[in-house]
């Protein structure tokens, strides 16, 4: 007798969330991009037709399809259409050079690049640099090939048979070498999306503003998380403080995610006003300073601190807030919120380990490397087994971040391993110095890095951006830090001016170190 089909198992894939949204909320507007407003049913049909266009063009299961676009409906649709076609999504950073784009396309083996009209020049240059056959599809503008292909295509959706099959390849920033391709599977993205939806308390009445780049860790899996709850995607192709505040006032925004640098820009914008409704924000990429957390609280914004990497589908840890902490002072609450926290709801408990892989004492003092494992950790680095083995030597992914474990099980990041300053044999955590300096009322942003020194080997140097209209001298800021920390931890120099940042809002400390050298 033949074995009957299984009724107790269905391979997990985050694209299933769109099918459910279209079934439960077919007539609700699910996606807004400028003047374009799409109901969930219309968005599903559009994604399936784009998948049909890919299949008709010869894109086979497992083929890599790259997309170069800002936070538009095109990139959001690609998070469903490319997997519907059975292909692998490669979402590209919109701020890297055409040479970097060409390298990633070649490394990933992408044969098709779908690009926004605004990035046609970069796409054409990358195609010219590519050593393999590469087709371009343009979206938007007068020659909108993608729109024409969607209009002609038949809907298509290929079922997912293996939930651990490749869904996407996300490339690291490559600040210490060539970018590495991080492999995501369907199961991990599905579970991570549910974790984000739960922790951020998204529901069908939520409006999510796309300030976080969708190309960055697939937008921390929020392209699928927002859809899972039937909330509304509000696309924002250009991230500017004025545009953010306009949407906060006029578009009913309830949620957004951003790096601390973008939050700093937004919180101290001249248009910043306390909102009358609740606004939930998630931040990650660097520890938010207590000063920033206090400012956001003053604006009525409820912020959640998340922590993760490209290798962990974005946020793998959350600073889970406990209601008993509400009785603490404002400064103490800010200090608690600045911690990276505990594993998210689908993860394994975080560890902080020494060089031999043993757990360090949970004394909030002994530093070690943060180690992670679970369903929301990558399959590995694409075409780089050696790097995968080095990153995961014993079944735990080593993050390269140094931190301490508190007695309550919460992890606190102290520094990137490469950012620790060793001055006269003493270890100085740049994060600790930065947090001390941001308590000065004139300081908007600060980055502390190691500068060469003949006597001590290296010493802390602070790069500072002051708030608009504020003033402070180098000596004043140094003395301010000395009043809070041991004198050897205080910066020896202060350099004023804007800070270099990545496309995801992270301060580029490598650039600052290179300037000092």
pLDDT single digits (tens) 185-214: 999 999 999 999 999 999 999 999 999 999
Structure tokens given for 41:
């049913």
pLDDT single digits (tens) 92-126: 999 888 989 999 999 999 999 999 999 999 999 99
Q: For tokens 């060089």, what's the residue?
A: 355
**High-pLDDT (> 70) share of the chain, %:** 97
Query: Residues with Cβ < 8 Å from 265, sequence gap 6 or more?
Result: 241
Domains (range + CATH), the chain = 29-188 (3.40.50.12780), 240-416 (3.40.50.12780), 420-516 (3.30.300.30)
Structure-model confidence comparison of residues 417 and 181, the more confident one = 181
Handedness of CA 98, 311, 396, 11 (dihedral sign): negative
Q: What pLDDT, on the 0 to 100 scale, is given for residue 423?
A: 79
If pLDDT is split at 50, 70 and 90, which confidence band does 161 have? very high
Q: What pLDDT, on the 0 to 100 scale, is given for residue 177?
A: 60
pTM, entire model: 0.86
pLDDT single digits (tens) 31-78: 999 999 999 999 999 999 999 999 999 999 999 999 999 999 999 999
**Cα–chain center distance at 82:** 21
d(CA 313, CA 376): 6
SS3 426: strand
For 354-367, give the secondary structure using H, E and C: CCCCCECCCCCCCC
pLDDT at 175 over 50: no
Q: What pLDDT, on the 0 to 100 scale, is given for residue 496?
A: 95
If pLDDT is split at 50, 70 and 90, which confidence band does 293 have? confident
Q: For tokens 């010869």, what's the residue?
A: 58
- Around Cβ 69, how many Cβ atoms within 10 Å? 25
d(CA 73, CA 39): 12
Q: For residues 367 and 360, is the Cβ–Cβ distance under 8 A?
A: yes
Which residues make beta-bridge pairs with 68? 115
First to last CA, the chain: 75
Q: Could you tell me the CA-to-CA distances from 146 to 60, 68, 391 in Å, in that order?
A: 18, 13, 39
Query: Residues with Cβ < 8 Å from 335, sequence gap 6 or more?
Result: 290
d(CA 473, CA 464): 11
pLDDT at 351 over 70: yes
Average pLDDT, the chain: 92
Helix (H) / strand (E) containing 244: helix 241-250
pLDDT single digits (tens) 22-33: 999 999 999 999
d(CA 390, CA 392): 6
């Amino acid at each position: 007798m033949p074995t009957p089909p299984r009724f107790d198992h269905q391979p997990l894939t985050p694209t299933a969330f769109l099918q459910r949204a279209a079934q439960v909320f077919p007539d609700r507007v699910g996606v807004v991009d400028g003047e374009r407003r799409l109901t969930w049913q219309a968005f599903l049909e559009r994604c399936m037709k784009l998948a049909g266009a890919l299949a008709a063009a010869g894109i086979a299961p497992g083929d890599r399809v790259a997309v170069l676009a800002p936070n538009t409906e095109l990139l959001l649709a690609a998070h469903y259409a490319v997997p519907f076609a059975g292909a692998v999504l490669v979402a590209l950073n919109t701020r890297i050079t055409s040479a970097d784009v060409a390298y990633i396309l070649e490394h990933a083996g992408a044969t098709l690049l779908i690009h926004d009209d605004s990035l046609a020049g970069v796409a054409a240059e990358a195609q010219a640099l590519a050593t393999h056959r590469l087709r371009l599809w343009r979206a938007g503008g007068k020659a909108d090939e993608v729109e024409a292909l969607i209009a002609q295509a038949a809907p298509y959706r290929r079922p997912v048979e293996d939930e651990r099959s490749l869904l996407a390849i996300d490339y690291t920033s490559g600040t210490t070498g060539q970018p590495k391709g991080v492999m995501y599977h369907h199961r991990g993205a599905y579970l991570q999306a549910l974790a984000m939806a739960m922790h951020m308390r998204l529901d069908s009445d939520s409006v999510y503003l796309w300030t976080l780049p969708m190309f960055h860790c697939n937008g921390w899996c929020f392209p699928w998380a927002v859809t899972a709850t039937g909330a509304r995607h509000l696309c924002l192709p250009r991230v500017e403080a004025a545009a953010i505040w306009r949407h906060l006032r006029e578009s009913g925004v309830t949620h957004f995610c951003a790096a601390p640098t973008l939050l700093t820009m937004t919180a101290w914008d001249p248009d910043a006003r306390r909102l009358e409704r609740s606004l939930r924000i998630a931040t990650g990429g660097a520890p938010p300073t207590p000063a920033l957390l206090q400012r956001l609280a003053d604006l009525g914004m409820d912020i959640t601190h998340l922590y993760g990497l490209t290798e962990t589908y974005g946020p793998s840890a959350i600073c889970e807030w406990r209601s008993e902490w509400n009785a603490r002072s404002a400064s103490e609450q800010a200090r608690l919120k600045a911690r990276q926290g505990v594993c998210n709801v689908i993860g394994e408990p975080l560890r902080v380990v020494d060089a031999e892989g043993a757990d360090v004492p949970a004394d909030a003092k002994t530093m070690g490397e943060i180690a992670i494992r679970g369903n929301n950790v990558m399959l590995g680095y694409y075409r780089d087994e050696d790097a995968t083995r080095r990153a995961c030597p014993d079944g735990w992914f080593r993050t390269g971040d140094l931190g301490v474990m508190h007695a309550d099980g919460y992890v606190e990041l102290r520094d990137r391993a490469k950012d620790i300053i060793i001055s006269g044999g003493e270890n100085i955590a740049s994060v600790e110095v930065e947090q001390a300096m941001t308590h000065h009322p004139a300081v908007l942003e600060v980055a502390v890095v190691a500068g060469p020194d003949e006597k001590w080997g290296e010493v802390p140097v602070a790069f500072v951006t002051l708030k608009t209209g504020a003033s402070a001298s180098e000596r004043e800021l140094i003395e301010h830090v000395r009043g809070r920390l041991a004198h050897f931890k205080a910066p020896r120099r202060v350099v004023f001016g804007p800070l270099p940042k990545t496309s995801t809002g992270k301060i580029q400390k490598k650039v600052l170190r290179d300037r000092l050298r």
